[in-house]
Structure 1
Amino acid sequence: MTKIETYIVDSFTDKPFKGNPAGVCLLDQKMTDEQMLSIAKELGLSETAFITLVDKPNKYSIRYFSPVMEIPLCGHATLASSKVLFEINTELNHIHFKNIQGLDLMIKKNQEKIEMEFPVYNTIPQNTPKELLNALGIEKISNSVFNKETSILLIEIESCQLLNNLTPNFEKLKASHNSINGVLVTAISDKNDFDFESRYFWPWSGTNEDPVTGGTHTFLAKYWAERLNKKKMNSFQCSERTGFMEVELISDSKLTIKSEAQIILKGELRI
Structure 2
Amino acid sequence: MTERIETYIVDSFTDKPFKGNPAGVCILNNTLLNEQMQLIAKELGLSETAFINKIEEQNKYSIRYFSPIMEIPLCGHATMAAAKVLFEIFPEMEKIHFENIQGLDLLIKKSGATIEMEFPVFDTVPQNAPEELLKALGIKEIVNSEFNQETNILLIEIESDKLLQSLSPDFEKLKQSHNSINGVLVTTISQRNGYDFESRYFWPWSGTNEDPVTGGTHTFLSKYWSTRLNKKKMNSYQCSERTGFMEVELISDKKLTIKSEAQIVLKGELRI
Q: Give the TM bin, normalised by the shorter chain.
A: over 0.9
Residue-by-residue CA offset, 1:193-220 (whole Å, 9 max, x unaligned)? 1000000000000000000000000000
Amino acid at match of 1:83: K
CA-CA distance at 1:90 after TM superposition: 0.5
Residue-by-residue CA offset, 1:151-200 (whole Å, 9 max, x unaligned)? 00000000111100101000000000000000000000001110000000
Partners of 1:196 and 1:42 lie apart in 2 by: 34
Which residue is equivalent to 2:54?
53
Residue-by-residue CA offset, 1:125-155 (whole Å, 9 max, x unaligned)? 0001000000000000000000000000000
Amino acid at match of 2:28: L
- Displacement over 4 Å in runs of 4+: none
Partners of 1:29 and 1:57 lie apart in 2 by: 18
Partners of 2:58 and 2:101 lie apart in 1 by: 20
Residue-by-residue CA offset, 1:7-49 (whole Å, 9 max, x unaligned)? 0000000000000000000000010000000000000000000
Which residue is equivalent to 2:187?
186
Q: How does 1:41-190 map to 2 (within 5 A)?
A: 41-190=42-191
Amino acid at match of 1:77: A
Q: What CA RMSD, in Å, does the superposition of the two structures yield over aligned residues?
A: 0.5
CA-CA distance at 1:57 after TM superposition: 3.2
Residue-by-residue CA offset, 1:205-255 (whole Å, 9 max, x unaligned)? 000000000000000000000000000000000000000000000000000
Which residue is equivalent to 2:15?
14
Partners of 1:91 and 1:252 lie apart in 2 by: 32
Q: TM-score, normalised to structure 1's length?
A: 1.00
Partners of 1:258 and 1:129 lie apart in 2 by: 34
Which residue is equivalent to 2:199?
198
Amino acid at match of 1:269: L
CA-CA distance at 1:110 after TM superposition: 1.3
Partners of 2:140 and 2:217 lie apart in 1 by: 23
Secondary structure in structure 1 of the residue aligned to 2:30? coil
Partners of 1:55 and 1:199 lie apart in 2 by: 38
Amino acid at match of 1:200: Y
Partners of 2:226 and 2:146 lie apart in 1 by: 15
Partners of 2:267 and 2:180 lie apart in 1 by: 37
Secondary structure in structure 1 of the residue aligned to 2:147? strand
Secondary structure in structure 1 of the residue aligned to 2:241? coil
Partners of 2:264 and 2:257 lie apart in 1 by: 22
Q: TM-score, normalised to structure 2's length?
A: 0.99
Secondary structure in structure 1 of the residue aligned to 2:77? helix
Residue-by-residue CA offset, 1:40-82 (whole Å, 9 max, x unaligned)? 0000000000000002530000000000000000000000000
Secondary structure in structure 2 of the residue aligned to 1:85? helix
Partners of 2:231 and 2:162 lie apart in 1 by: 23
Which residue is equivalent to 2:3?
2
Which residue is equivalent to 2:223?
222
Secondary structure in structure 1 of the residue aligned to 2:55? strand
Which residue is equivalent to 1:252?
253
Partners of 1:31 and 1:95 lie apart in 2 by: 22
Secondary structure in structure 2 of the residue aligned to 1:149? coil
Partners of 2:223 and 2:246 lie apart in 1 by: 15
